[in-house]
């Protein structure tokens, strides 16, 4: 297996790692696969809290993704670990609260890796809203945001690391 340092590594982070960050992981993986670049990336997701460790993605998130041809199968919730800040080139938070939590958890030398995911998309709000307590429309909105941001992120990372 290729060493992770030989790949562009991206970690998507929300609070519990069952809705937004697995949706981002699955969607970005899908976009990368469509571009034929899977071997160039390490893609993962995690949560800032350990509420759902070991659980699969929320069934509503999985169903919404599946309707768009995106699989969240095989993604199990985990908590961000200290090694993640060293291992990943980009640690992308879904919202400001999780961004602050990540900055608090990371040593100062890793703070420049921690960003809001939607910073890559001009003209959007800076946060992916949490759909957990809402209806199916919230999961569709998350997918709309994440799909667009994933395409822009891929182009950004391609130009920075692969060209």
Per-domain residue ranges for the chain?
Answer: 7-162
Residue 66 is predicted with a pLDDT of: 98
Tell me if 45 sits within 8 A of 17, measured CB to CB.
Answer: yes
User: How many CA atoms, within 13 angstroms, populate the side-chain half-sphere of residue 44?
Assistant: 21
Partners of 118 in the beta sheet? none
The 10s digit of each residue's pLDDT in 82-93 is 999 999 999 999
Terminus-to-terminus CA distance in the chain, angstroms?
23
Phi, psi of 30 (to 5 degrees): -60, -45
pLDDT at 63 over 70: yes
pLDDT at 1 over 90: no
What residue spans of 15-159 are helical by DSSP H?
A: 20-34, 59-67, 82-87, 96-105, 136-157
Which positions are catalytic?
A: 14, 20, 130
pLDDT at 30 over 90: yes
Per-position b or e across 103-114, b if 16+ CB within 10 A of its CB: eebbeeebeebb
Across 25-37, average pLDDT = 98
Q: Could you count the other beta carbons within 10 Å of the beta carbon of residue 133?
A: 6
The 10s digit of each residue's pLDDT in 100-152 is 999 999 999 999 999 999 998 877 668 999 999 988 899 999 999 999 999 99
d(CA 6, CA 106): 22
CATH of the domain spanning 7-162, picked from 1.20.120.160, 3.40.50.2300, 3.20.19.10, 3.40.50.620: 3.40.50.2300
d(CA 135, CA 131): 7
């Amino acid at each position: 297996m290729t060493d992770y340092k030989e790949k562009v590594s991206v970690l998507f982070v929300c609070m519990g790692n069952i809705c937004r960050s697995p949706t981002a992981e699955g969607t970005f993986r899908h976009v990368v696969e469509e571009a034929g670049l899977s071997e160039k990336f390490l893609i993962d997701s995690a949560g800032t809290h350990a509420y759902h460790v070991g659980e699969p993605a929320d069934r509503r998130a999985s169903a919404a993704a599946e309707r768009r041809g995106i699989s969240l199968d095989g993604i199990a919730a985990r908590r961000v670990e200290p090694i993640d800040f060293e291992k990943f080139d980009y640690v992308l938070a879904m919202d400001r609260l999780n961004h602050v939590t990540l900055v608090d958890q990371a040593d100062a030398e890793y703070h420049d890796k921690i960003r809001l995911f939607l910073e890559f998309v001009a003209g959007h709000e800076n946060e992916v809203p949490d759909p957990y307590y809402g209806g199916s429309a919230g999961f569709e909105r998350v997918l709309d945001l994440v799909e667009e941001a994933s395409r822009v992120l891929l182009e950004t990372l391609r130009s920075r690391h692969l060209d």
